[in-house]
Amino acid sequence: MHKRPGIVSDQRFFDHAIPQHSLENPARLRRLYTRLAAEPYLGRVQCFRPREASAEDIEAVHSSFYQEQLREHVNVQDPFSYDRDTYLMEQSLYTAALAAGGCLELADRIVAGEIDYGFALVRPPGHHAEPGRGMGFCLYNNVAITAQYLRRVYGMQRILILDFDVHHGNGTQAVFNETDQVLFCSIHQEKLFPFTGKPQEVGIGKGYGYTLNLPVHQQFGDAEYLFLLNRVLGNVVEQYLPQIILVSAGYDGHEDDSISRTLLSTHWFFVVTELLKFFAHEVCDDRVLFILEGGYNPVSLEASVLATVDSLLTPCGKRPGVAYSQRAAKILAHHPVHQFWTL
């Protein structure tokens, strides 16, 4: 039986804001919240309020030294004193703890079987935040905190994180670089901030082979992205058998988002959600949790997030058909993924 998907939203996420211009601002969520509170979504999603992530939750990823650094910069007059694009105001750390805690709230509901799918519509985003450093609008790494929580509280040993934000999830990779209990896969535009995520970055120690980076060329769009994720994840999921799929869901690869030069359509986000639902149905009892990352054109962000929600509202169906892409296949021809996983 298909359960209503769960959404985390809260107007307290608007409190992390500055008077100066920033692409990462409350307007990213305002229209989305309004749309989800009206037809055709009213009553079709379960809405949950976030809780504040505990010190233990956050310290499973971020050092106490880093957190103390952030607290010191909150009291500095310049909101960009810590990082040139990652601002800190009085409410910022509380808002960031709420964002992480909202993800944990949905993780609990998914494990309890109350919902199959969840979407944490939170901010600030998190996937650039490393254990001891914030950057790229990110303070606490929401998806990493969630994965560590699932390991610590529920004893999960096989967690798949897919990051389809147009930027590489350097922070998430850094957290799980040395473990085989979290498989991290990032598809992102090459030669773009933070200039990491090369194919040769595959993890170390026990994590060797459990980091998969798929940097793509500018102008890649729906066909190339879908071919790569279908080919790589379709095989890796069957071999790794994740107990849950976490998604760093960034929408800044959209063709109308000026921060990148990739050409994803709004419909692509519906189709990739269908694909992930199929994988989750096959191996992990439909457990999928989306966590909002980037997306800086409010119009395309709204449309693309709603495309994801539209997919989550429907029961899992057949695996989407995927056309062959010669341009994308060239990326895999000499990719190190073949050393670790059968494609």
Please state which CATH class domain 6-340 belongs to: alpha beta
Q: Are 173 and 165 in contact (CB under 8 A)?
A: no
Q: What is the pLDDT along the chain (343 residues), one digit of tens a residue?
A: 778 999 999 999 999 999 989 999 999 999 999 999 999 999 999 999 999 999 999 999 999 999 999 999 998 889 999 999 899 999 999 999 999 999 999 999 999 999 989 999 999 999 999 999 999 999 999 999 999 999 999 999 999 999 999 999 999 999 999 999 999 999 999 999 999 999 999 999 999 999 999 999 999 999 999 999 999 999 999 999 999 999 999 999 999 999 999 999 999 999 999 999 999 999 999 999 999 999 999 999 999 999 999 999 999 999 999 999 999 999 999 999 999 999 9
Q: pTM for this one?
A: 0.98
Q: Where are the domains of the chain?
A: 6-340
Rounded-to-integer distance, Cα 117 and Cα 114, Å: 9
**DSSP letters spanning 256-302:** T-TT---BB-HHHHHHHHHHHHHHHHHHSTT-EEEEE-----HHHHH
Calculate the CA 260 to chain-centre distance.
17
Write out the two tokens for 124: 């600030």
List 16, 73, 127, 128, catalytic entry: 128
271-301 burial code (b ≥16 CB/10 A, e <16): bbbbbbbbbbbebbebbbbbbbbbbbbeebb
Residue 246: which H helix or E strand, with range?
A: strand 244-249
Bond into 124 cis (ω within 30): yes
Query: pLDDT tens, 83-99?
Result: 998 999 999 999 999 99
The pLDDT tens digits of the residues spanning 1-34 come to 778 999 999 999 999 999 989 999 999 999 999 9
Mark whether 128 is an active-site residue: yes
At 328, list the tokens: 């994308």
